[in-house]
Structure 1
Amino acid sequence: MKKRKLVITHNLELDLLNQVKAIIPDWELIASKEKEVWQEEVKDAEIIAGWKKGLDEYCLGSKSNLKWLQTWSAGVDSMPLEKLAARNISLTSANGVHSYPISETIFALMLGLTRKIHTYVKNQQAQIWHHANMKLEIHKKTIGIMGIGAIGSETAKIAKAFGMKVLGVRNSGKPAEFVDEMYTTDQLHLVLPQCDYVVVTLPYTKETHQLFGAAQFKQMKHSAFFINIGRGQIVAEDQLVHALQEGTIAGAGLDVFETEPLSTDSPLWKMDNVIITPHTAGSTEHYNQRVVENILIPNLKDYLSEGTPSINLVDYSKGY
C-alpha cells in the first residue's frame, strides 16, 4: 500500500524535521527547497507545506491527491485561490509567525522617522555634524493601526509602553486588548484625522485594493507618518509619492510596494522623508521554528484527527 505523503518545500533543521516525523511516522516525508527534489513528489502529495511560484502546475493536475496546503507566508494573495477553492483544498497561512519581527520593524520605522535616525545615518556617511531640526517624540502620540490581527495586536501592545493612544480598524469592529477605540474600515475618515502615525497591517484583498489614495492622505495630519508593512497594492503609490512631495503628510516608512523590487526610477528612493526596507519586515531567525511548532504541527494533529486543519484556515470568500 502506497504511503501517504507530506512535502515541505523548505530546508528544515533536523530537530524540526524529527518533530514532524514523530507525528506521521508511517508517512513519506520530503523536505527540500530545491525544485529538483520536490517537483515530482508534489504530484501525489496529500499535504504540501510551503508555496512556491509555479507549484500549481505540478500539484493541481488531474491526478492530484492534494487535500491541504500550508503556506510559509502570512499573505495568500499571490496564490491560485480560485483553483484551490474549486478543488476544496484546505489552505492555511503562517499568520502570527511575523508578529514579533514585524512589530519591531514598525517601531523601528516610526522611531527612525520621529528621531531622524535615517537623516543622521546619511549625515554620518557624509561626515556632516548637523542637528537636522530634530524635535519630535513618540510618547503620548496617537497611532492608528489598520488591521488588528496578530501583528496589529502586538503593535498595539508595544504602543502602550510609549503611553500612546491606540485606534484600531478591523472589519468586525470588535474590541481588542490594548486598543482604546475600534473602528470599521468604512470609518477611516474618522480615524485618519486623529493619527500621528498610520500603520497598515492589512492583507491584500479586493476590498483593500488601493484603500489608501489621495483622499485618505488628505484626511491625515500634515505632521503624520504613514507606515506600510501590509501589501504594496493597498496603496496608490503614485498618490503617496505626491502626498510626500507636497507635504500632505510628513513622511513614510515602507516595506512593501506595488511592484517589487522597487524600480530604480521611483522617486521614493531619494526622498529625505522616506525610509525604505526591501520587504524584510517579517524576517527573523526563528521563522521556521514558529511555522513548524506553532502552526504546522498543531494543524497536522488536527488534520489527522478531524480531517481539517484549524489554525489560520483561509476563508476563500474573504481571500484571507
Structure 2
Amino acid sequence: MGKIVCFPSLSTKQQQRILDAAPGYTLTVGKAKEIDASELKEAEIVVGWSPLVTEHVLKENSPLKWVQVWSAGVDNLPFSDLEQKGIMLTSANGVHAIPITEIILGMMLSHSRWLRQAMLYQQQAEWKSPGKPLPELHGKTAVIVGVGEIGSETARILKVLGMNVIGVRRSGKDVPNVDQMYTMSGLHEALSQGDYVINILPLTDETHHIYNQTAFEHFKSGSCFVNVGRGPCVNTEALLGALDSGQIAFAALDVFEEEPLPADHRLWGKDNVLITPHIAGSTEQYTERALDIFIQNLESYVAGKKLPLNLVNYSHKY
C-alpha cells in the first residue's frame, strides 16, 4: 500500500487514528528537518507542508497524489506545480470557526462596551467613564465579507445577540442566519449598510487590496472594521486615511500587509485601533479538529470516493 508523511507533531493515539483509517498504509511523522528526503519521495499522501515537498517531490516524478495542509489558508502554496501534476489539495478550512468567531466577538465588544479604553485607563489608575451612554450590538448591522465556515459561525452568534447580518460571498448562495446575501459585485452596497464590517476573505488575486480607498469611502460613516482574514486584502494607507477622517471609528486588526508589524508603524500609535499579533485562529483544540478533517477525507480516499471536505479549487485558489 501507500505511504503517508505527516509534518504536524501527533501523539501516538492520533497517529493510530490515521493508521486505523488507512489499513496497510505506513506513516512517518516528524519535523521537516527530521524526515529523510528519500521517504518524502515515496509519499502518496503528505499532511502539512514543507518547502521540501517542492524541492524533492514536485520537481521529480513521485507517487504523491494528495496534500492535506494543516492550515485553512493555502495562498502560499505552489498552485501551478500541484495542479500540473494532478495532485489534490485540501485545507483545514473550518478548524478556525469557533476561535475566530470568539475573537471577532471580543473585538466588537471591546469597542462597543468600552473595554479597551477602560483597560488603558486602568494602567494609569485613572477612574474615568466614557461620558456618554454606550452603544449595544443588539439591533446593529454586521456585514460579514467572506461567508464560509468562520463567517457562518459568526453569523449564528451575532444573530443570537440580536444583530442584523448581511453577508458577501463569491457564490451569493444563502446560508442560515444571514438576512441578506450579496455576491462580490455587490460589495460596496453591502459595506454602506454595516455598523460593523468583518473581513474573513482569503487572499487571491481578486481580493488583494479589495479594501482600497474607494471601498472605505463606501463604509457607513463611523462604522467599525474587523480584519481576521488576510492582511494584504487591505490597502493599509487607505485604511489609515479612513481612520484619520473618521469614516471608520474603530479598527480591530489581527492580520497585516507586513508581519510582524514594524515597531514604527503608524497603526501602533492610533487610539482607535486594536492590534492582535495574528492569533485569531489560535486554539488548544487545533490539532484534534484538523485531524478530524483529515481522517474524514482519508476514509473517503481509501474507499476510492471523492474527498468530502475542503478540496481546493485551483482556479479560485481556495
Inter-partner Cα distance in structure 2 for 1:63 and 1:44:
10
CA distance in 2, matches of 1:102, 1:254: 12
Alignment match, 2:220: 221
| 1:234 alignment partner in structure 2 | 233
Deviations 1:71-121 (A, max 9, x none): 111111011011100111000000011100011111111111212212221
Is 1:249 aligned to 2:248, yes or no? yes
Q: Which deviations, in whole Å up to 9, do the C-alpha atoms of 1:257-281 show, x marking residues without a partner?
A: 1111111121111211111111111
Cα deviation for residue 40 of structure 1 reads: 4.4
Question: What is the match of residue 71 of structure 2?
Answer: 73
Give the C-alpha shift of residue 36 in structure 1: 2.1
Query: What's the TM-score, normalizing by structure 2?
Result: 0.95
Residues 180-228 of structure 1, C-alpha deviations (whole Å, 9 max, x = no match): 0111111112111111000011111111111111111111122210001
Question: Would you say the 8 A contact 1:92–1:313 is kept in 2?
Answer: yes
Mapped contact 1:44–1:63 kept (Cα < 8 A): no
Give the drift of 1:21.
Answer: 1.3
Equivalent position of 2:188 in the other structure: 189
* 1:304 Cα offset (Å): 1.1
TM-score by length of 1: 0.95
Contact kept in structure 1, 2:212 and 2:238, CA below 8 Å: yes
Partner of 1:156: 155
C-alpha distance 249-216 of structure 1, shift in aligned 2 (>3 A): same
Checking the alignment, whether the CA contact within 8 Å between 2:22 and 2:299 is kept in structure 1 is no
Matched, 1:64 2:54: no
The aligned runs of 1:70-109 (5 Å cut-off) are 70-109=68-107
Q: 1:120 aligns with which of 115, 118, 121?
A: 118
147-156 or 115-124: bigger deviation: 115-124
Cα-to-partner distance string for 1:121-152 (whole Å, 9 max, x where unaligned):
12111212111346222111000000111000
3-state SS in 1 of match to 2:167: strand
Q: CA deviation at 1:315?
A: 0.7
Q: CA deviation at 1:33?
A: 2.8
Structure 1 residue matching 2:248: 3-state secondary structure: coil
Q: Whole-Å Cα distance in 2 between the matches of residues 174 and 63 of structure 1?
A: 40
C-alpha separation between the residues in 1 aligned to 2:102 and 2:135?
20
Q: CA deviation at 1:11?
A: 0.7
Shift in alpha-carbon separation, 1:60–1:131, aligned structure 2, 3 A: same
Give distance in 1, aligned partners of 2:70 and 2:162: 34
- The structural deviation recorded for 1:26 is 2.2
Structure 1 stretch 242-251 or stretch 191-200: which is displaced more? 242-251
Counterpart position of 2:286 = 287
Aligned to 1:310: 308
CA distance in 2, matches of 1:226, 1:119: 17
Task: Look up the equivalent residue of 1:106 and give its one-letter code.
Answer: I
Structure 1 residues 299 and 178: alpha-carbon distance in aligned structure 2, compared to 1, 3 A threshold: same
Q: For residues 40-51 of structure 1, what are the structure 2 equivalents within 5 Å? A: 40-51=38-49
3-state SS of 1:44 partner: coil
Q: Secondary structure at the match of 1:136?
A: coil
Residue 303 of structure 1: CA displacement?
1.0
Give identity over the alignment, percent: 45
Q: Against the structure 1 CA distance between its residues 24 and 223, is the aligned structure 2 distance closer, same or farther, given a 3 Å change threshold?
A: same
Instruction: Mark the CA change 1:133 to 1:234 in structure 2 (over 3 Å): closer, same or farther.
Output: farther
Change in Cα spacing, 1:133 to 1:51, as seen in structure 2 (3 Å) is: farther
| Distance in 2, Cα, partners of 1:117 & 1:55 | 46
Aligned residues: 317
For 1:14, give the aligned amino acid.
T
CA contact (8 A) 1:32 1:38 kept: no
Aligned residue type for 1:158 = I
Residues 98 and 282, structure 1, Cα contact 8 Å, conserved in 2: yes
